[in-house]
Structure 1
Amino acid sequence: MKTTLVCSGGLDSVSLAHILAQDGKLARLVTFDYGQRHRKEVDFAARTATRLGVPHHMVDLIPLGAALHGSALTDAVDVPDGHYAEETMRVTVVPNRNAIMLTIAFGIAAANGDDTVAAAVHGGDHFIYPDCRPAFTDAFQMMQNAALDGYADIALHVPFVHLTKADIVRQGARAGTPFAETWSCYKGDAAHCGRCGTCVERQEAFDLAGVADPTPYADPTFWREAVANV
């Protein structure tokens, strides 16, 4: 299996990169810059490619990201604090983000002779992000089968789609993922804020997984209150 991996630089995709590399299946990383305010994650993706010795395709989607306005990830909209379970986290949706990125990744995989595209979507994202759900990934595979019919046969690999974030931490730890070399915070400041949905989810996942979290947070205790209030 030669795999093109969509890698944001976050904990999930970097963990999947290390798992695939450990199995000798990682061919390349594809990262997208869509003008996200937490774009420092792009640097962590680049470091992952260098560390694992694979090509890194950087795709500039900044003009497109500007057109997909209205999200707290791209516009001057406050990123809400609190657990991901809260309804307010829907303001972080970027419409069709995964559909767009996966379409490009499939094209890159086909052009390079890879037989698999991998994405680190996981079960914790299902209720907020429709393009992280099994119904979407199943339908996307069918669409790509039609789009590449007679040209390439490429499978969509989403091993985390039914797993929790804690499951990913456990698997990533077994593959030797350097978690300090990943970025989750949606606010994109000098350090993880410790208060936004991704920071709370990250800290909760390490706690549930029983794995030490090496991440420095501006507010390292808020997450416990946020989780308790869900």
Structure 2
Amino acid sequence: MTIPAFPPGKATDTTVVIYSGGMDSYTVLHRALREGLTVHALSFDYGQRHRRELTVATRVCRALGVPHQVVDIRAIHGLIDNSALTDADREMPEGDYSEANLTATVVPNRNMILLSLAIAKAANIGAGRVDYGAHGGDHVLYPDCRPEFVEAMNAAAGIANFDPVQLHAPYLRSTKAEILADGLAMGLDYADTWTCYQGGELACGRCGSCRERLAAFAANGVEDPLSYLQQPCLQRPCLQRPSDAARSQRPDPDAGVA
């Protein structure tokens, strides 16, 4: 989505980045920093099963010296619990991303909720922009990652407050592999991300999110720095590494991190 750097007449160098701790938002965060912007990272605890991503996000922001706020919105859990991502009693679907097998992971209205809160923070601190990591690979499954939704929310953000806020989705039409390629070109270390929907000690390697991540690394010819309980072949030479068993015995790098 090509947009002006900031809304017309908005003299600011500040953006709010919705930062989950995953690959896409990690890349968006660093992209904004590379632009020379003052970045405020915003994460949300909405009762997700994979809240381990919040620990990773906290660690990364602390290392970068980026202001980081984790907003506890678990009070609305009962409004958005009709999803395998927010209901631990539901079976997590496995296999590649497709409408047929991963519809159960759609969290009702999630991005509209998170974007509304991020836009409020931007208006509150005088930031002219909100960045988030919607990308082309999500279009088939998640309505709130599609260009039509982003464009509509961007229009609303322009009139919802006295000062307009611009919604910036730099990878809206990019694949996961293309996002990773951009991040690798920036020299980013994706060991500092969490993708798995299960949120265990090791990534499961079976959920759609893990499989999409592994396919992106395979497409770039690069080894994923995370360790997995299981690595699928993904219809290309197997990604299983002999060192995985040894790596799985390493101490948890997140142990003791608040």
- Alignment partner, residue 199 of structure 1: 210
Structure 1: how far apart are the matches of 2:189 and 2:31? 12
Structure 1: how far apart are the matches of 2:26 and 2:77? 23
Secondary structure in 2 matching 1:146:
coil
Which runs of structure 2 are paired with 1:1-230 in the superposition (5 Å)? 1-75=13-87, 76-85=89-98, 87-148=100-161, 151-220=162-231, 222-225=232-235
Shift of the alpha carbon at 1:226? 9.8
Secondary structure in 2 matching 1:121:
coil
Offset from partner CA, 1:36-63 (integer Å, 9 cap, x none): 0100000111112112211111111111
Code of the residue aligned with 1:216 in structure 2: it is S
CA contact (8 A) 2:99 2:141 kept: no
Secondary structure in 1 matching 2:212:
helix
Secondary structure in 2 matching 1:201:
helix
Code of the residue aligned with 1:199 in structure 2: it is C
Say if 1:3 and 1:77 are closer, same or farther in 2 by CA, change over 3 A.
same
Offset from partner CA, 1:83-125 (integer Å, 9 cap, x none): 0125110000001100000000011011111111000010000
- Alignment partner, residue 255 of structure 2: none
Unaligned runs of 5+ in 1: none
Q: TM-score, normalised by structure 1?
A: 0.93
Shift of the alpha carbon at 1:66? 2.8
Code of the residue aligned with 1:189 in structure 2: it is G
Shift of the alpha carbon at 1:223? 4.5
Code of the residue aligned with 2:78 in structure 1: it is A
Q: TM-score, normalised by structure 2?
A: 0.83
Secondary structure in 2 matching 1:217:
coil
Size of the aligned set, in residue pairs, is 225
Offset from partner CA, 1:147-204 (integer Å, 9 cap, x none): 11xx212111101000000001011112222201100000111100000000000000
Shift of the alpha carbon at 1:210? 2.4
Structure 2: how far apart are the matches of 1:226 and 1:97? 33
CA contact (8 A) 1:82 1:226 kept: no
Secondary structure in 2 matching 1:203:
helix
Q: Which has the higher helix share?
A: 1
Identical counterparts, % of pairs: 41
CA contact (8 A) 1:33 1:39 kept: yes
Secondary structure in 2 matching 1:147:
coil
Say if 1:102 and 1:219 are closer, same or farther in 2 by CA, change over 3 A.
same
CA contact (8 A) 1:35 1:66 kept: no
Code of the residue aligned with 1:105 in structure 2: it is A
Structure 2: how far apart are the matches of 1:131 and 1:223? 30
Secondary structure in 2 matching 1:163:
coil
